[in-house]
Amino acid sequence: MRDGTVRGIGLALAVGYATFIAWLYVQQPQSAAEVTGGFSASVGSYRIDPQAFDDGVQFFGRDQFAAARTAFERADPARQDARTQFYIAYSYYRQGWGRFYQDDELFARGLEAVNRAMARAPGGRIRVDDPGLQMRSGEELKAELEAGLRRDPSDFNPARILSRRK
């Protein structure tokens, strides 16, 4: 092999490795599944497990939110599908909602998931057309989660017990 060819191959490998490290720094994946899912999503070949997703929707419809999240996480292990992440966020909202108080930990996790969903959605906008949901956009869900985390005098309003879960 010629000297110039070897140097060119070395340069290409170094640039590829530097690009990979920069991608890791920007994306900050938490698992190997997120790394491989991120790469496959960037080339357009990422797919969720449709059976696990359908299982999650069924659990969600029966108000079994922890089981639904487990199924959704199995369907989308790399956390790359906006619709699945939306359902995960909604399940945190539904489980954390209460007439007398909101579960701040569940609402905070839901806010993380809806932000992830909106980041993965084309143009940052997610809309789920499911007749069983009262909130169908990421913006609505995010606003409800943020309102649940906010502390203000309306938290002590006794009429709050008459409010309905969305």
Q: Using alpha carbons, select from 5, 39, 1, 34 the residue that is nearest to residue 19.
A: 39
Percentage of the chain exceeding pLDDT 70:
84
pLDDT at 110 over 80: yes
Q: Let me know if residue 16 belongs to a domain.
A: no
Q: Let me know if residue 13 belongs to a domain.
A: no
Domain hosting 158: range is 48-162
Based on C-alpha coordinates, what's the Rg of the chain?
21
Least confident interval from 17-21, 105-109, 157-161: 157-161
Least confident interval from 22-26, 67-71, 88-92, 117-121: 22-26
What CATH number should be reported for the domain holding residue 68? 1.25.40.10
Q: Let me know if residue 22 belongs to a domain.
A: no
Q: Let me know if residue 9 belongs to a domain.
A: no
Count of structural domains within the chain? 1
pLDDT for 24 equals 67
pLDDT in tens, 55-80: 999 999 999 999 999 999 999 988 88
- Whole-model pTM? 0.77
Q: Let me know if residue 130 belongs to a domain.
A: yes
Helix axes 82-96, 50-61, angle to 10 degrees: 20
Q: Let me know if residue 23 belongs to a domain.
A: no
Q: Let me know if residue 78 belongs to a domain.
A: yes
Q: Let me know if residue 73 belongs to a domain.
A: yes
